[in-house]
Amino acid sequence: MQTDYSMNTKQDLLDLPLKPARVDAVSTYVDEYLSKKETRWLATHGLVYTTNGITKCMAAWHAVAKYCPWHTTDSTVCLVSVGEGAKPTVSAMFSRLTRWRCLMIDPLLYKRWRGIPSTLPSLICDYGLPMSFNGDKVVLLSINAHVDLDWYHHQFLAPQMLTVAIPCHVQQIIANREPTASYIDYGIAAGRNEVLVWNG
């Protein structure tokens, strides 16, 4: 029987130690996430349903919304999310909220998610780099990922590119490049809540 994660109430999600996050900022992200039918679907299907997961997804969404020059309806945009873990999370959210082609890469991916999930037709999930997945407009995400961001940046280097990282235990850098923007997102319910953005 499938667990109905949508039964989590907002209060359940907020009854956690949130420092150095701010409760009001976390609450705003949780409210926004639960207000969208596309993201509620992710919770119901057990993809993104914890406070930490929800707020990281929303932080990534807002960073991309602020710095990305392309509209969510632009189907020529390719989104690549690396190091998400055993199942798609951030990439699944973007595949639900945009018309972009989305790719999730992680060697720890559960086998049942490999390929193109029937419920997420604009998303490809794989253990490593696919033979062909590129374009002139690329959004690269590394959200709490234990990966070499610089290596992935060079693999998907495109004429127009936006890279967003929320570092966890592994430093996220692009060689010889300073971030275009760096800020603390107090809406992330985790101890590591710095957001790094590179344009180009």
Domain ranges of the chain: 10-199
The structure tokens listed for 17 are 């130690």
Digitized pLDDT (tens) for each residue of the chain, 200 residues in all? 333 333 344 454 444 444 466 888 999 999 999 999 999 998 888 888 889 999 999 999 999 999 999 999 999 999 999 999 999 999 999 999 999 999 999 998 988 888 888 888 899 999 988 766 778 999 999 999 999 999 999 998 899 999 999 998 889 999 999 999 999 999 999 888 999 999 98
Q: Which of 192, 115, 126, 199 is nearest to 159 (CA)?
A: 199
In whole angstroms, give the CA distance from residue 38 to residue 45. 11
- Hey, what amino acid is at 186? Y
pTM attached to this predicted model = 0.87
Write down the architecture of domain 10-199 according to CATH. 3-Layer(aba) Sandwich (3.40)
| 137-143 and 160-166 beta bridge pairing | parallel
Starting at the earlier edge strand, list the strands of the sheet with 160-166.
123-126, 101-105, 77-82, 137-143, 160-166, 194-199, 181-184
Comparing CA positions, the residue from 160, 29, 38, 158 lying closest to residue 98 is 38
β strands within 89-186, DSSP E:
101-105, 123-126, 137-143, 160-166, 181-184
Helices (H), the chain: 10-14, 23-35, 37-44, 51-67, 90-97, 149-155
**Closest by CA position to 181, among listed 94, 89, 72, 67:** 67
